Amino acid sequence: MKRWWLLLLCTLPLLGQASGYTQTRYPIVLVHGLFGFDRLLGVDYFYGIPQALSRDGARVYVAQVSATQSSELRGEQLLAQVQQVLAVTGADKVNLIGHSHGGPTIRYVASVAPDMVASATSVGGVHFGSEIADRVRMRVTPGSAEEALAAAAASALSGVISLLSGGGDLPQDPIAALDALTSAGAVNFNAAYPEGLPSRHCGEGPLQAENGVYYFSWSGRGNLTNILDPVDPALVLTGTFFGEANDGLVGVCSSHLGKVLGTHYRMNHLDEVNQSFGIHHLFETDPVSLYRQHANRLKEMGL
């Protein structure tokens, strides 16, 4: 793969300047979601988050996997990058943090290679499917002309995203991504990779699964969170299709994995990664603070 390279933000933190607040034992690897990237035209997907984590001692890498693909294939791409992080740093394990489709992606790696993963944290992850994906799949039937047209348009978009972010050689498959994010797709994936899942609807999963990996999750339940954010109106529209609280693209209960750290945040799906450009609810916790607090949590747990 041409673009296996990770954005290394801090391999040797300046200990004299860093407070150590986010200095986890194991490196942190951030994993983007659907139509995501590591850095696009100089803008981080996790806007300002890698820098905030590395500033206080964390070793942070940002993975780049296919913008549109199945959870398993994205997981295999991530696994290869995790192996390289371990080789570069000499660490035994990594702490994985995945947003949106990055949630199932990190779960795949934690399931097939638990010896390489200390913790897996999902932010707005799609673990039981998204009603948006279900509705799209209902309208775009397999093998139809509509499916071919939608696939072509999505492939063009994901191809441009990957090209501009330096991953033009990554394979794209929007239909595989769509199927992975439906409720039916989630059922199949969860049967194969059940670690960290709650045993009942909208419940909590185990903090530490039988494979030894620690699982965490958090998500938002806002749509219109700041009138200055140009993306919010679209998330208000998509949010109306849900029968439960949601962040505009993922229902709160679908986001549950392992220890649920919170679902009360007035954040929409993009706020969860501090987009657009750091615009978020004026009276809610800064999204960057949640990542810093979680890094400190992992540090205090010896992870």
Q: Which residues are catalytic?
A: 100, 247, 269
- Phi, psi for residue 123 in degrees, rounded to 5: -120, 110
Crossing angle of the two packed helices 174-181 and 183-192, in degrees rounded to 10: 80
Quote the CA–CA distance of 114 and 126 in Å, as a whole number.
21
| Residues, the chain | 303
- Specify whether the CB–CB gap between 170 and 38 falls below 8 A: no
Quote the CA–CA distance of 153 and 160 in Å, as a whole number.
11
Tokens of 110: 């934690």
Task: Count CB neighbours of 116 within 10 A.
Answer: 20
Task: Count CB neighbours of 48 within 10 A.
Answer: 17
Tokens of 90: 């000499």
